[in-house]
Each structure stands twice: as structure tokens, then as C-alpha cells.
Amino acid sequence: MPEFSAPEGSAGGESRRRVFDSHFHIIDPRFPLTPNKGYLPQPFTVPDYLDRMAPLDLAGGAVVSASFQGSDQSYLLDALDRLGPRFVGVTQVPASVTDHDVMKLHANGVRAVRFNLYRGGSESVEQLGRLASRVHDLAGWHVELYADSKDLPHLEPRLAALPRIVIDHLGMTREGYPPLLRLVERGARV
């Protein structure tokens, strides 16, 4: 990425790199939140995020739905609207989502469906292949997968058959690195 000059008044006038925040969560208590195994994070709203990112030359980012947000889209659509067109969404939808709803989410900046196999709160792994293929065919979305890499050996054949996948949280543990690396060789992103 090209370097950009720091705005006037920056410490020492040092140059800084432009960044794209590839994974962050907005936790806005105005919208439904469901504790996951007792876990419910503190609020982290769009203004909180923008304040935290103010020192950076932020090019955009990806707002990711978390386990405690289930398949509710209201917070995500609000966040994307408030953040603007430089930001995209990664959502959790039930397998029963309609084609119309997928396309409506796409029109509002959503670009991926997330399967949270580590903490739950999303659709099950049994729906992975069908839903991943469907949203890819409809809107070009990829699948974002939150899974402990120690579970990848038994998931590898299923994941290798998907059109496009991203494995988030860096694969979690070293135990599953061999299948993780094989998936990367086939085009998966981490």
C-alpha cells in the first residue's frame, strides 16, 4: 500500500500507512444482543470505533457479525449506513434466508456470510455447503469461518468444496496448521 502523509498536527509529521480494518465488531446496545454461554461484551458503538481509529489513516473496513448478535441484521445495516460506502459487512443468516433478503443485504454493503463454529450463534456446519454456494451464486459472497483449526482436519473436505472461504481469527491453534495450509494452497484466505 502507498504511504500517505500524516495530517497537520500529527506527532512529528511522520508518514503512516493507510489501513483497511479487515475484522471488527460493533456492539450497539440499541439492538438485540444475546449472551453466548454467558458472554456479552461491553458496548463498542460506531462512534466508539471511529474515535478509536481516528489516529489512523483508515481506508475502510469489514464489520463482522458476532455470536451474540445471532442473525439480527438491524445493527449491521445501521453500522454500515453510519460508516459509509468504504465499509462492508459480514453477516450471519439462517439457511432459510430468502434470495430477496440476500440481495437486499448485498445492496446495503454485505459481502460475506459467517459461520461461527467456535462459539456458535450462527447457522450449523450442516448448512455450510448449501448456504455458501447459494449466497456465492446469488451475490458473489464468500464464507467467513470462525473455527478452531484443530477442527479443520474433519472439516477440510467440506471446506475445500466451497466456492470462496476466509478463515478468521488466524485459525486459532497450531494443531490444525497442515489442513489450514492446504486450504490456503487451494485459495482460502486467513
Place of cell 454461554: 37
Grid cell of 102 as nine digits:
440476500
What's the average model confidence in pLDDT over 2-9?
37
Least confident of 48-52, 149-153, 157-161: 149-153
Buried b vs exposed e over 149-177: b needs ≥16 C-beta within 10 Å?
Answer: bebbeebbeebeebeebbbbeebbeeebe
Contact 136, 112 (CB under 8 A): no
Distance, in Å, from the CA atom of 83 to the CA atom of 149, rounded to the nearest integer, reads 32
- pLDDT tens, 80-120? 999 999 999 999 999 999 999 999 999 999 999 998 887 77
CB atoms within 10 A of CB 17: 11
* pTM check: above 0.95: no
Distance, in Å, from the CA atom of 44 to the CA atom of 38, rounded to the nearest integer, reads 18
Residue scoring higher pLDDT (95 or 177) = 95
Tell which phi-psi region holds residue 60, choosing left (phi > 0), alpha (psi between -120 and 50) or beta: left
pLDDT at residue 171 above 70? no
